[in-house]
């Protein structure tokens, strides 16, 4: 059975910003690491896996990490940018992280095939949504 590859997404920075819609996941997320050649529990809820020389970085929910007795860092909220951005889009994440930097909001961006996701410190989620809403409104006014 042949599969079709979904469209690659938007590349225009103006278009991405002017159509930006966000959503906040209700879960608290955390980052964990598993050393090379170590197993991680198959029942651990994973949202991202990234292999590095030092080990496997994983983003999971705080609840799942705690249920498995795992050490974690950076409790954070996940803001999803609900615009289908291309993995080749230039400047989208730079524009967003620059605005968040101006407000003193740390951010760990992760790009998926369809959307970008921002992991921001717990307690800064609403402020992040406000910044993004302001950016979208400014981009719409500039169209």
pTM summary value = 0.91
pLDDT in tens, 39-66: 889 999 999 999 999 999 999 999 999 9
User: How sure is the predictor about 143, in pLDDT bands with cuts at 50, 70 and 90?
Assistant: low
**Residue 5, pLDDT above cutoff 90:** no
Residue 5 is assigned to a structural domain of this protein: no
Question: How far, in Å, CA of 30 to CA of 93, rounded?
Answer: 21
Q: Which CATH number belongs to the domain containing residue 131 in this structure? A: 3.30.2130.10
Does residue 3 form part of some domain? no
Count of domains forming the chain: 1
Residue 53 covered by a domain: yes
Q: For residue 22, what are the domain limits? A: 13-141
Query: Residue 6 falls within a domain, yes or no?
Result: no
Residue 109 in any domain: the answer is: yes
pLDDT score recorded for residue 66: 98
Does 8 reside within a domain?
no
What value does the mean pLDDT of the chain take? 93
Q: What are phi and psi of 31, to 5 degrees?
A: -110, 135
In a domain, 83, yes or no: yes
In a domain, 4, yes or no: no
């Amino acid at each position: 059975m042949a599969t079709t590859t979904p469209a690659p997404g938007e590349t225009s920075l103006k278009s991405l910003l002017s159509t930006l819609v966000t959503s906040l996941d209700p879960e608290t997320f955390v980052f964990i690491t598993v050393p090379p050649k170590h197993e991680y529990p198959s029942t651990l809820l994973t949202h991202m896996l990234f292999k590095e020389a030092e080990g496997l970085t994983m983003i999971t929910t705080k609840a799942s990490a705690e249920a498995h007795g795992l050490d974690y860092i950076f409790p954070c909220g996940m803001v999803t940018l609900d615009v289908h951005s291309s993995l080749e889009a230039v400047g989208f994440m730079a524009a967003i992280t620059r605005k968040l930097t101006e407000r003193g909001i740390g951010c760990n961006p992760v790009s998926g095939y369809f959307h970008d996701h921002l992991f921001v410190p717990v307690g800064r989620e609403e402020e992040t949504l406000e910044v993004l809403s302001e950016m979208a409104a400014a981009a719409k006014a500039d169209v």
